[in-house]
């Protein structure tokens, strides 16, 4: 006989760097760069695994890149049910940093995109 088991509701709180979230609100995308060895991190890291130091500068990411690949999400997961179909893409900048973004405009592999934000997340706008 099948019965309803007791549901497990998981509620989480997580931490983001203030600098990163405030920059997104301004339309900017930040990475961290090690003051000691110059290694750049995206996603941003507080700790440098390259040299072991933990003093970082926040640096702006080049705002133009190439769309490397994408997918159009039809079946949306929990928390995203109310969005229209959205396009998740990977964009590589001239500085060779690759980011996950939502793509606005007609997606095509190899097309140039301008990196910005919608105040909440990173956006890649297809350049006509």
Partner 1 sequence: MGKRVAIIGVGNSRFGKRDDVSIQELAWESIKEALNDSGLSQKDIGLVVVGSTAYRGVELYPAPIVAEYSGLTGKVPLRVEAMCATGLAAALTAYTAVSSGLVDVAMAIGVDKMTEVDTSTSLAIGGRGGNYQWEYHFYGTTFPTYYALYATRHMAVYGTTEEQMALVAVKAHKYGSMNPKAHFQKPVTVEEVLKSRVISWPIKLLDSCPISDGSATAIFASEEKVKELKIENPVWITGVGYANDYAYVAKRGEWTGFKATQLAAKQAYEMAKITPNDVEVATVHDAFTIAEIMGYEDLGFTEKGKGGKFIEEGQSERGGKVGVNLFGGLKAKGHPLGATGLSMIYEITKQLRDEAGNLQHPLKKYIGLVHNVGGTGHFAYVMILRR
Residues 21-40 that bind Zn ion (CB under 5 A): 34, 36-37, 39
CB of 51 to partner 1, least distance (A): 19
Write the Ramachandran bin of 27: left for phi over 0, alpha for psi from -120 to 50, otherwise beta.
Answer: left
**Identified binder of partner 1 from the candidate list 49, 78, 84, 128, rule CB under 8 A:** 78
d(CA 35, CA 112): 31
90 binds, among partner 1, Zn ion, none (CB under 5 to 8 A by kind): partner 1
Cβ-proximal residues to 98 (8 Å cutoff; 6+ apart), any chain: 42, 68, 90, 91, 92
Q: Residue 116 forms beta bridges with which residues?
A: 123
Among 29-37, 53-61, 70-78, the segment contacting partner 1 (CB under 8 A): 70-78
Residue 48 interacts with partner 1 (CB under 8 A)?
no
CB of 52 to partner 1, least distance (A): 20
In the chain, count H helices and then E strands.
1, 8
Residues 97-126 that bind Zn ion (CB under 5 A): none
Cβ-proximal residues to 103 (8 Å cutoff; 6+ apart), any chain: 67, 70, 87, 88, 89, 113, 123, 124, 125, 126
Q: Which residues bind Zn ion (CB under 5 A)?
A: 34, 36-37, 39, 48, 50-51
Q: Which residues bind partner 1 (CB under 8 A)?
A: 2, 5, 14, 16, 42-43, 68-80, 83, 86, 88, 90-91, 98-102, 109-110, 120-122
């Amino acid at each position: 006989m099948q019965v309803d088991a007791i549901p497990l509701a998981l509620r989480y709180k997580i931490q983001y760097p203030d600098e990163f979230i405030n920059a997104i609100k301004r339309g900017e995308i930040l990475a961290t760069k090690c003051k000691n060895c110059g290694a750049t991190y995206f996603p941003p890291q507080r700790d440098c695994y390259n040299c072991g130091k933990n003093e970082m500068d926040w640096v702006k990411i080049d705002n133009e890149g190439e769309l490397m690949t994408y997918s159009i999400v039809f079946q949306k997961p929990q928390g995203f049910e109310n969005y229209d179909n959205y396009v998740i893409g990977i964009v590589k900048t001239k500085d060779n940093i690759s980011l996950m973004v939502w793509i606005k405009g007609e997606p095509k592999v190899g097309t140039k995109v301008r990196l910005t934000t919608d105040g909440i997340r990173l956006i890649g706008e297809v350049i006509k």
